[in-house]
């Protein structure tokens, strides 16, 4: 892999497929370079972790309830949080190309959750999805649809 990459094949594949699975070196740094390339081309990004995500569809596009830890001294309460993805989309700049949802630790997601994230760009065309699926010796990506079909 060259030291200075333009990221054009990565961005082109992301725009065509809508959802990519990436494998990055564990020492880090490479994903930050590609995130900068995405920002330079006009995308805004939202970073979330796949651990403890729960129902992916409800978390991203629906109002969902959250219960803080109960320590035995107060009543159990449920707080309702607005949809994360819709909130970010409502605040996009008019000059922005769209929103990139970057999911780290994506290896814990089930095939059903990966299939939903693969369909998300067809449901909302302004959203592109990138899921970190594990480590590798060099930064590489695969189309999420190809990964689900195999």
Give the total residue count for the chain.
150
CA angle 49, 55, 61 (to 5 degrees): 85
The pLDDT-based confidence of 4 (bands split at 50, 70, 90) is: low
Per-residue pLDDT, averaged over 87-108, amounts to 92
DSSP per-residue codes, 58-119: HHHHS-EEE-PPP-SSS----EEE--HHHHHHHT--TT--EEEEEEESGGGS-HHHHHHHHH
Question: What is the pLDDT at residue 1?
Answer: 46
Q: Tens digit of pLDDT for each residue in 107-140?
A: 999 999 999 999 999 999 999 999 999 988 888 9
Domains and CATH numbers, the chain: 8-50+76-149 (3.40.50)
Query: Does the pLDDT at position 65 exceed 90?
Result: no
Question: What is the pLDDT at residue 5?
Answer: 62
Query: Does the pLDDT at position 3 exceed 50?
Result: no
The pLDDT-based confidence of 76 (bands split at 50, 70, 90) is: confident
CA–CA gap between residue 127 and residue 18 (Å, rounded): 8
Q: Using only the alpha carbons of the chain, give its radius of gyration.
A: 17
User: Which of 3-7, 30-34, 86-90 tops mean pLDDT?
Assistant: 86-90
Place of tokens 């700049």: 93
């Amino acid at each position: 892999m060259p030291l200075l990459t333009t990221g054009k094949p990565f961005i082109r594949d992301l725009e065509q497929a809508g959802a990519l699975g990436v494998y990055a070196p564990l020492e880090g740094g490479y994903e930050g370079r590609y995130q900068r390339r995405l920002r330079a081309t006009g995308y805004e990004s939202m970073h979330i972790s796949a651990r403890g995500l729960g129902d992916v569809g409800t978390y991203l596009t629906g109002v969902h309830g959250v219960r803080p830890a109960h320590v035995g001294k107060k009543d159990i309460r449920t707080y309702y949080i607005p949809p994360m993805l819709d909130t970010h989309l409502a605040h996009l700049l008019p000059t922005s190309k769209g929103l990139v949802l970057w999911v780290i630790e994506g290896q814990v997601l089930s095939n059903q959750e990966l299939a939903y994230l693969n369909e998300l760009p067809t449901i909302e065309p302004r959203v592109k999805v990138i899921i970190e699926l594990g480590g590798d010796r060099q930064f590489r990506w695969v189309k999420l649809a190809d990964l689900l079909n195999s």
